[in-house]
Amino acid sequence: MARKLPEEQTVRDLKLTITDSTTLPRDKERGLSLVELREPQWCLEDLVLADSARKLLVRIVEENRSSQLIRGFGLWPMRRALFWGPPGCGKTVAAEAIARELYLPLAVVRFDAVISSYLGETSANLRKVFDFARQRAMVVLFDEFDAIGKMREDRDEHGELKRVVNAFLQMMDGFRADGVMIAATNHERLLDSALWRRFDEVVHFSRPDKHQIGDLVTRNLRQMPLAPNVFLKSLTARMAGMTHADIERVVVNSMKSTIMSGEKEISPTTIREEIAKQRERDNAASGHLTRESRTQKRPSRKRNASPPRR
């Protein structure tokens, strides 16, 4: 998979071209920028993923690398992907990696700016984003895409959500330009079943298994070794159920504690303490979420009818 990137300059040049030749779309009322351009830092190789997810991502990249060839036969490469799974398991960084592998700029759509309280303005904002994406090939990430799904609960009285979702689907269906559109969500159940069907590919980002946890620990350790009496196997068992981001945090914090205590190797006590801290943090967060969901209006069954389609 590893393909040597041309000089670092290239992605930066693309970014310059895009900001020079086009103005970033903005919300009319508030003047907020609807899109944020990012320079992709991650390659697919940097990601620790389940084989099934990696295969799908590689396929998206390969089809788009062969875009000319495929289009010569009157077909389209995969251009619309939905990424779903718990937060901190790599959806955003995978979108970055796809952009980097394809040497395309990454445009992250800011949903907080797209969703407007002015009637009709949200669809107008989405249209501006799609018009922008037509100007040149890029990877567009509709990150935290659940914001659209959540509107169903908040705004249904005006029927605006339905209009926004329909507008989004139509724009996505009608989108005939080079580049890849990715929508990412942590709450796949909030999304309408019609949405799931409209994507060429659906990629599930799961929490890491034991083998992947071990891989993440060693990748994040960089130069600092674990003390010889730390057993990776027992560590991975202790970290079962954590997300990639949690594991990264445990390792980074263990390294910092070790540096500050003037030691050269990460001791079993240090890493165990950091794991315990992370667990506490997770418990506090999930307690908060449970309280939050209890206070939210329960969605009706019909609205959330569709299970994830794979």
Ligand X SMILES: Nc1ncnc2c1ncn2[C@@H]1O[C@H](COP(=O)(O)OP(=O)(O)O)[C@@H](O)[C@H]1O
Interface residue list for Mg ion (CB under 5 A) = 91-92
132 forms part of the interface with ligand X (CB under 6 A): no
* Type and span of the H or E element at 182: strand 179-185
205 forms part of the interface with ligand X (CB under 6 A): yes
Q: How far apart are CA 238 and CA 277, in angstroms?
A: 12
For ligand X, the binding residue among 48, 81, 102, 230 (CB under 6 A) is 48
Residue 87 vs 299, nearer CB to ligand X = 87
DSSP codes joined into one string, 119-179: TTHHHHHHHHHHHHHHSS-EEEEETTTHHHHHHHHHHGGGTHHHHHHHHHHHHHHT--SSE
57 forms part of the interface with ligand X (CB under 6 A): no
For ligand X, the binding residue among 88, 105, 149, 179 (CB under 6 A) is 88
Collect all residues with Cβ–Cβ distance below 8 Å to 85 and sequence separation of at least 6.
91, 186, 204, 205, 206, 207
Q: By the 8 A CB rule, do 73 and 15 touch?
A: no
Residue 30 Cα to chain centre, angstroms: 26
For ligand X, the binding residue among 43, 137, 245, 252 (CB under 6 A) is 245
For ligand X, the binding residue among 44, 47, 138, 190 (CB under 6 A) is 47
The interface partner of residue 244, options being Mg ion, ligand X, none and the CB cut-off 5 to 8 Å by kind, is: ligand X
- The DSSP symbol for 187 reads -
CB of 48 to Mg ion, least distance (A): 16
Helical segments of the chain, H only:
9-21, 51-65, 67-72, 91-101, 111-114, 121-134, 146-155, 160-173, 193-197, 210-221, 232-238, 244-260, 268-295
Query: Which residue has the closest beta carbon to ligand X?
Result: 90
Judged by DSSP in three states, 189 sits in: helix
87 forms part of the interface with ligand X (CB under 6 A): yes
Residue 64 vs 185, nearer CB to Mg ion = 185
CB of 142 to Mg ion, least distance (A): 11
105 forms part of the interface with ligand X (CB under 6 A): no
For ligand X, the binding residue among 18, 56, 89, 202 (CB under 6 A) is 89
The interface partner of residue 268, options being Mg ion, ligand X, none and the CB cut-off 5 to 8 Å by kind, is: none
The interface partner of residue 57, options being Mg ion, ligand X, none and the CB cut-off 5 to 8 Å by kind, is: none
Applying CB under 6 A, the site for ligand X has a residue count of 15
Residues in touch with ligand X (CB under 6 A): 47-49, 87-93, 184, 205, 244-245, 248
